[in-house]
Amino acid sequence: MGSAMARRIRAAGFPLKVYNRNATKASQFASEGFTVAKSPAEAVVGSDIILCMVSDDKASEAMWLGEAGALKAAKKGAILIDLSTLTVGWVTELAKHATQHGCEFLDCPVAGSKPQANAGELVLFVGGSDTALNRALPVLKVISKAVNHLGPTGSGARMKLINNFLSGVQAASFAEALAIIERSGLDRAKAVDLIMNGTPGSPMVKTMATRMLSPDYDNTNFALRLMAKDLGYAVEEGKSHGIGMISAGAALEIFKKGIEIGLGDKDLSSVAETFRKTK
């Protein structure tokens, strides 16, 4: 997804330097004519707007604060934007580091997957100041169809965890429903059609139904292990507000089972196999 965003930003005419921890992906950027940096710090020198898209808190911390991290090389007044799905706690801490360095920070996780990233139709959940967002809008509009400012720092991260926890619960629930359909002898096609076109037929359920029936798990739009990570973050966020997160916790256990049976890097729809392989 980060690669797709970078291509859209460059195509829109913005000067851009990129960095990727994966040497293969970095070389691909170079072959496309991108200016490829050797470190996060090298990538951000002189930049007014700095964007990061990685998998989790640990990776985000490494990119911003690690050896040759981006923050130490960021110029005063730069806007730091993390598009990753992160915990509210880490986002809040990172914003403090940015302020201490004389920069502004936006937590700006995205809703959507590879197709939306390629088309510039992501939905952005933003936390941070109006001033920083207004300065960043020309770039953010290139990668999205909607920019939603939800409040101060942490608001975007919190909304994204709520969004993904609901999505994960729906995916796990449909996988379980599909298992009942398949084992009970119901006409699968008819039963799934009734669900998809009935009250339960949310966009998430419809997407999962299509992929689980294929099944096409190697075309990974969103990895199962990342959904497990997001559910874990959501459980902790809910607990910090006195919410037990019972449904999120149950879904998390199902996704953990998927990781245990080797599905972690497959598309999250492969969660259906946790029921198909466990009788």
Domain boundaries, given as residue ranges, for the chain: 2-152, 158-276
Question: Which residue, among 73, 67, 13, 65, has the nearest Cα to 43 in the 3D structure?
Answer: 73
* Whole-number pLDDT of residue 23: 83
Mean pLDDT, consecutive 10-residue stretches, the chain (279 aa), reads 94 96 88 94 97 97 97 97 98 98 98 94 98 98 98 98 98 98 97 98 96 93 97 98 98 98 97 85
* Whole-number pLDDT of residue 278: 62
- How many residues are there in the chain? 279
Residue with tokens 């020309």: 138
* Whole-number pLDDT of residue 198: 98
Which distant-in-sequence residues (6+ apart) come within 8 Å of 58 by Cβ? none
The CATH classification number of 158-276 equals 1.10.1040.10
Alpha-carbon distance 2 to 18, whole Å?
10
Which distant-in-sequence residues (6+ apart) come within 8 Å of 213 by Cβ? 188, 192
- At the second CATH level, the architecture of 2-152 is 3-Layer(aba) Sandwich (3.40)
Which distant-in-sequence residues (6+ apart) come within 8 Å of 122 by Cβ? 1, 5, 110, 111, 112, 116, 143, 144, 145
